[in-house]
Each structure stands twice: as structure tokens, then as C-alpha cells.
Chains A and B, each alone.
Chain A
Amino acid sequence: MTASRPEVIRLDRAEAALGGRRVWSDVSLEVGAGEFVAVLGPNGAGKSTLLKVILGLVPLAAGTASVLGERPGARNESIGYLPQRREFDPSVRVRGVDLVRLGLDGGRWGIPLPEWLPAGNGRRRAAARVGETLELVGAAAHAERPIGELSGGEQQRILIAQALVRGPRVLMLDEPLDSLDLPSQRSVAALLQRICRIENVAVLLVTHDVNPILPYLDRVTYFAGASAVAGRPEDVITSPALSKLYGVPIEVLHASDGRLVVVGQPEAPHVHSPRHG
């Protein structure tokens, strides 16, 4: 299945270190265009570090990485990135649509000119692109309201629109489902899968709970024990594969509703908290 798709991200025996401390090593993975990949693992296993490596913000200590055929950081304009979400301050009085527009042209100096001025074609196109993206993620209805007044799920859609507005080939999301209620988690996951299929965007989603997105996934990368394994969910989330990764016996249970439960992790199982640092 992956062989038919052009590869967008490849890591080969890569090792990452933060402040002299090795986070993980010997990690190899590849992501093809239009694939929906989950990056799993317990807290502190280095999931967010992977995203920073792909963005070129953290240099590799060993091994090689290529992103869209070049070194990490060289093609960042083609990557949409949602950092681990802090919620917006409720008193921020700026519209969602402005935030999405900044995703399009926020790096340019000066202020945007009004559309009625001469030579406003580019600006009208920009506004149209913002509107289109908001439609795609289903956020058009609340984009005119101040971002601080929106609910967590509505903010998340605005932010996905912001990351998508430049038509990236890779979309990376760090814990986007955290602090969302279960129906919102499902609908955001379904939306991401739709984006993979319609726009042919490779989606990398970091999460500590695979269950809400399991039906939509193509592949997973599971970080633990200072390394990672990558592959299809049914190959990676198994008792033998995870036991080898952690170095201690791990059991993967299949609940009657299809949920996967990983038992016996060395760290205390992550308790879902409403506020995530």
C-alpha cells in the first residue's frame, strides 16, 4: 500500500538528543503522501521531538532524515504544523478568520491593504482561499467570532484550517485531540482522514490514546524505551512488538467494542487530564 505512494518523510537509523540527553535512537520510518500516521507512546517518549526533528528545529545526533526530498527545515513552507495546544485566552478579541489568514501571509511585512484598492486580485484570491479552507474543515460558521470565545473543538478546527491554508503536503498535529470531548475527537479524526484523501496530504498525528483515531489510521509509529517501531497498526500494537520495544512483557487486549488496551507499561498509565501541559 505504501509502495505506490511517493515518499514525503524518511528517517533512517535516526537519533535525537535534547540538551545532551538522548531522547531516542535507531528510529527508522517512512511516510507516504496522503497517509494518515499516528505517533503513539507514553508521555516523555519523544513524540513531540520527532515533529521538531522533521521541522528542522532539533538537529539529529546521528542517522539521516529527509523531508519532501530535502534536509529537514528546507521545505517548511510545505508543512502545516499544530503545536501542542494551549487554549486561547478567552479575552483575545481577534477573529478566527484572521488567524487563518495569518497562516497564509503572516510572514509578510506590513499590513494587508483593503481589497477595494487597485490590484486587489491577489488579496481577493487570498480571502477566497481562506474561505475555501474554512469550508473544508467545517469552521466557516464560527470563523467571524473572536477566537477566545470558541469552544475547544471549534478552536481546533480553526487551527487545522490555519495549518492547511497554504496547501501543505504534510500536516503535523501534536496532541490535537487532547481536551476535546469524545464526539469532537471522532469528528476531528474523521476530518483529518478526509483531508488525507481529498487533498492528498500526509498527516502525522501525535497522541497518547490511539483509540479515537484507530479506524482512520494507515500506519502508526510507537515510541517507547528510547526507540520506536513503525508499521501498520495491527502489526505494531501487538503484545510481541511492544514487549520487545519496552523490554518488559506488555499485553495488548482487545476490548469487546474494538478498543485496544495496552497493559503493563513501565510508566503509570496516562490519566486523561483536562489540562495538558
Chain B
Amino acid sequence: MLSHEFIRLALLAGTPIALACGLVGYMVVLRSEVFAGDALSHVAFTGALAAAAAGIDLRAGLFAATVAVAASMGLLGPRAHADDIVIGTVFTWILGLGALSLSLFVSGRSSGNGAGGVHVLFGSIFGLGAGEARLAALIAVGVIAALIAIARPLLFASLDGAVAEARGLPVRGLGVLFLCLLGLTAAEATQAVGALLLLGLLAAPAGAAHRLTVNPYRGLALSGALAVGALWLGIALAYSVPSFPPSSAIITVAAAAYLASGAATRLRRREVSRLAGPTDP
């Protein structure tokens, strides 16, 4: 399997992207900002298609759109948290612009099919070029480094904002910075699993990690490891079952990990309550 160039490129780009998704996702779940991640994934779609319609590099539009929207969500929202209803209203309109871009893009091309749009929506990790893969990996590594650098203050600000603020931490700035990192991650993951599916890589491994451990740093590491594992397994699965699209396979593995973590915690809880006596309802 590794003898294929496209698999090697998929692993090269996908591994750091999945790791970034897992680490950022842990904080996203902790801060209850999954919906913001969801909205950013849709923004990624519009950004990429608008760039395609304008005839410039797809990724330029992708990154510009997600980071700009993430920053404004952080700056406008109270305490650098975005309000659900505002998110829902704004991103629907942005998706409407995406529909517009798609129609302009499709009618502007003689071949006239929506394949470009489908790639943006659902990803095409097996279609990455060597240059694309290298750049994506590089940006993902940057995101990971930035997240680890701000991890401890961000954890403090997320758990206990008022105290962190009294201690002199830039709580608002951290919130905005984190949303920008989330935007970058969304743009990155769009290239791997697509705008519509990247939420799975953000939420599922992180949700599983939150269930499996209560130690935040262990949780962070576990979330990253689960995301990378889901990507590897998913790629292997898609390779061995050709009709299974890689994006669907990756998300299926990630969701399975989440379900398994739920079963594991339930078993453990039953074990604990059996040992402790019948106190748990």
C-alpha cells in the first residue's frame, strides 16, 4: 500500500492535519465551541469556491475565509465566545454565497459539472499533489506548535475565565487566537476530509478523549492520537475497499472510536458501582 505515491502523500499531509484536529478539537469540546467549528467548516466551502470562481488558488480563499470569519466571531462574540444563533444566521448566508460561487464556477467552465464543489465539500485526500501535501503538512505543524504553546493558559481561561482574567491573562486575546487556530485547522482539514466532514475529526476523537480521561494533558494527547489513528485506519480501509471514499472511511472510524469510548465508560462505571455497592442510580 505504501508503494503508491498518492498514499504516501495522503499520510504525509493527513497525519499532521489529523493531529492538529485532535489537539484543537479537545479545546473546542472543552470550550463548547463545536458549533463554531461547524460554522467554520461551511465557511471553508464558500471560501474555496469563491476563490475557484475568481480563478485564484483555491487554498488562498480557503484560509482567508476561515481565518477572517473566525477572527470576527471571536471579536464580536461576548467574552470571545460566539453566540449560537448569530453563528447560525451568519453561516447560512455565507453558505448561500457558496451556492452562488458554485453556480458561477460551474457556469464559467466549459466542462460544466460540480466536481470541484464536491471535492471541497467531501475532500479528496488521495488527490493531493506533492507540493500541496508538503504545504498542508507544514501549516498543520505550525498550528500544532502554536496550540501547544498556548495550551496551559488557554486551559485556564477556558475552565475559569474570571479568575484567569483577574490573574492578568489575556482571556479575550486567547479566545480570538484560539478561534483563528480553529479557522486554520478547518481550512487544513477541508483539504483532507472536506468541508462537510471535518467536524467529525474535530469532535469525535476529542469527545472520546474527554470521556476516557479527566487529566487534561493526557486528554489532549489521547485526542490527537485518536484522530491520527482514525486517519490511518480510514485510509487503509478506503484503500482495501475501493468503493469506500476515504473521507467517509476516516469519519466512520472516528465515530466508531467515539461510540466505543461511550461503551467503555459505561462498563467502567458499572464496574465501579458494583464494587462500591448500589449507590449509583
Contact = CB atoms under 8 A, between A and B. Distances in A.
Given A93-B214, A98-B215, A146-B214, A106 B164 contact: yes
B280 to A, nearest CB: 12
Given A93-B214, A102-B159, A107 B169 contact: yes
Contact of A95 (B32, B149, B153, B214): B214
Interface stretch (A18-26, A76-84, A124-132): A76-84
A244 interface: no
Contacts of B148: 110-111
A109 B159 contact: no
Nearest to A84: B162
B159 A92 contact: yes
A244 to B, nearest CB: 33
Interface in B198-239: 210-211, 213-217, 219-220
A102 B160 contact: yes
B30 A106 contact: no
A232 interface: no
B2 to A, nearest CB: 32
Given A94-B30, A110-B152, A103 B216 contact: no
Interface of A: 55, 57, 76-77, 79, 81-83, 89, 92-95, 98-99, 102-103, 105-112, 144-147, 162-163
Nearest to B213: A93
A98 B167 contact: no
A102 B156 contact: yes
B176 to A, nearest CB: 17
Given A105-B152, A106-B155, A94 B166 contact: no
Tell me what chain B mostly uses at the interface: helix, strand, loop, or mixed.
Answer: helix
B152 A108 contact: yes
A111 B219 CA distance: 12
A240 B215 CA distance: 55
A94 B216 contact: yes
Nearest to B161: A83
B166 A81 contact: yes
A95 B215 contact: yes
Given A98-B214, A111-B151, 7 more contacts: A77-B167, A92-B30, A98-B155, A111-B220, A112-B217, A146-B214, A147-B159
A77 to B, nearest CB: 8
B166 A106 contact: no
A83 B167 CA distance: 12
Nearest to A85: B162
